[in-house]
Chains A and B, each alone.
Chain A
Amino acid sequence: KAGVTQTPRYLIKTRGQQVTLSCSPISGHRSVSWYQQTPGQGLQFLFEYFSETQRNKGNFPGRFSGRQFSNSRSEMNVSTLELGDSALYLCASKPQENSYNEQFFGPGTRLTVL
């Protein structure tokens, strides 16, 4: 099976712009979670989707949003970018909700905000 894929891998934006990141989970996986990784804050949970429904949301401002499509692919959007949004954004997928199964991580999208 192909692993979790994320596009694009690298992105450079300027302050005030908007960005959309994409995540394709492993085939058959229905749960998709997003994390932000920065040197200062570490890994922080953004949100989790299961069957097109947001199940959990982390403590991030409303500028951060996401959605999941019927094929389980997910996108996250950040509007009005700030310098502090520069980070590695990781997506993780899992076969089903709240099971013992592990989450499989993608390679991430490196976002740089200038």
Chain B
Amino acid sequence: AQTVTQSQPEMSVQEAETVTLSCTYDTSESDYYLFWYKQPPSRQMILVIRQEAYKQQNATENRFSVNFQKAAKSFSLKISDSQLGDAAMYFCAYRSASSEKLVFGKGTKLTVNP
């Protein structure tokens, strides 16, 4: 069974600084997708960024980028120029290409200090 591990239950960052959230996963499959989801307090979960396993190039979305290390099964999220609105729970998730089931990590609570 696939597992996703987020080793940092909580992180904090100063506004305008950069922070990196860690995620590792375990799978025996070769075709899969990885995602970072953001869940603000009492608000809906939204997709931050996604990565296809077969793509070597790291995905970027504005201030958000990932460091995808397939051999190490690592998928970290870097948030640049952090903003107060970035404060939320961040979940790393894995999905096999043959299923819709998302396997989530336990999440990292990010606090942004003004």
* A47-87 CB contacts (< 8 Å) to partner B: 48, 50, 55-56, 58
B107→A48 contact, CB < 8 A: no
A55→B100 contact, CB < 8 A: yes
A105→B44 contact, CB < 8 A: yes
| Chain A interface bracket (under 10, 10 to 19, 20 to 34, 35 or more) | 20 to 34
Contact with B along A82-106 (1 / 0, CB 8 A): 0000000010101001101011011
B98→A33 contact, CB < 8 A: no
A97 to B96, CA, bound (A): 12
Which B residues are CB-close (under 8 A) to A98?
97-100
A100 to B43, CA, bound (A): 24
A33→B35 contact, CB < 8 A: no
A45 to B2, CA, bound (A): 12
A106 to B104, CA, bound (A): 17
Query: Does B84 count as interface, using CB distance less than 8 angstroms?
Result: no
A90→B101 contact, CB < 8 A: no
Nearest neighbor of B50 in chain A, beta-carbon distance: A102
A99 to B19, CA, bound (A): 30
B101→A43 contact, CB < 8 A: no
A48→B46 contact, CB < 8 A: no
Can you list 15 pairs linking A and B with CB atoms under 8 Å apart? A33-B100, A35-B102, A42-B104, A42-B105, A42-B107, A44-B104, A50-B100, A55-B99, A56-B100, A56-B101, A97-B100, A103-B100, A105-B44, A105-B45, A107-B44
Chain B residues at the A interface, C-beta cutoff of 8 Å: 33, 35, 37, 43-47, 50, 52, 91, 97-107
